[in-house]
Each structure stands twice: as C-alpha cells, then as structure tokens.
C-alpha cells in the first residue's frame, strides 16, 4: 500500500503517516509520533503536507485530533494534484523546449 501512496505523489514518510492514520483514525500527533517512532517536528511536517494535499483533516481544539478524509475524496485530491502538475508542464512546454534548444545551440557553437 505504501508503494501505491508514493505513486500518488506522497513521500515515503508522508505515505507511512497517511497509511497509519487511515488504519487507526482519529489520532493525536503525539500518539502517532510515538507509534511511528518519529520526532514531533517530523510528524507535524508530514501532517501539514497531508492537510495541504487535502487527504487528512484535524479538529480545531487545542490538542488537535487528525483523521483521514474518505478514500474517494483522497483519490480525487491526488488526481487533481497530478492533473494540475500535468497542465503546468503542458503550459510551460514550449518555453522549456526553447530554453533547452538555446542551451544546446550555445554548447555546440563553442
């Protein structure tokens, strides 16, 4: 399952945290850090990444409790992120090709 999550665009650590949370939701960050043997700073970084991707949520209380969104919503978030990335690449395609050609041309004229 971690391999699938990495293919969807998660880092190794983010995939590990997401998978753990999806099987043991809801959780406090402190409890996840202990269970996964991670430092608090690392777990909070992963949780922020996952929130930014729209695949987890948290409560607003002082001690936040994290949960995964339904898998359908998570997959939609992953798909949309990949579509956005592909769209940006397509929009920048001609500029990247032009830049590449000018670099190659300069190198070959030396």
Task: Report pLDDT digits (tens) over 2-28.
Answer: 888 888 888 999 999 999 999 988 999
Mean predicted confidence (pLDDT) in 84-90: 88
List, in sequence order, every beta strand (DSSP E) within 1-110: 27-28, 56-58, 65-68
What architecture is domain 2-108?
Answer: Orthogonal Bundle (1.10)
User: Closest Cα to residue 50, out of 69, 24, 63, 36?
Assistant: 69
- Is the pTM higher than 0.75? The answer reads no
Kind and range of the H or E run holding 97: helix 71-108
Mean predicted confidence (pLDDT) in 47-65: 91
Among all chains, which residue has been given the structure tokens 């990949």? 82
The span from the CA of 90 to the CA of 70, in Å, is: 30
Task: Report pLDDT digits (tens) over 24-52.
Answer: 889 999 999 999 999 999 999 999 999 99
């Amino acid at each position: 399952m971690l391999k699938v999550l990495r293919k969807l665009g998660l880092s190794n650590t983010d995939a590990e945290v997401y998978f753990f949370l999806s099987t043991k939701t809801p959780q406090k960050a402190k409890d996840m850090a202990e269970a996964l043997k991670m430092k608090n700073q690392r777990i909070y970084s992963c949780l922020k990444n996952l929130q930014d991707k729209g695949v987890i949520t948290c409560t607003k209380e002082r001690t936040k409790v994290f949960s995964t969104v339904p898998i359908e919503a998570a997959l939609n978030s992953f798909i949309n992120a990949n579509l956005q990335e592909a769209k940006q690449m397509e929009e920048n395609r001609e500029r990247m090709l032009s830049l590449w050609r000018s670099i190659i041309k300069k190198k070959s004229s030396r």
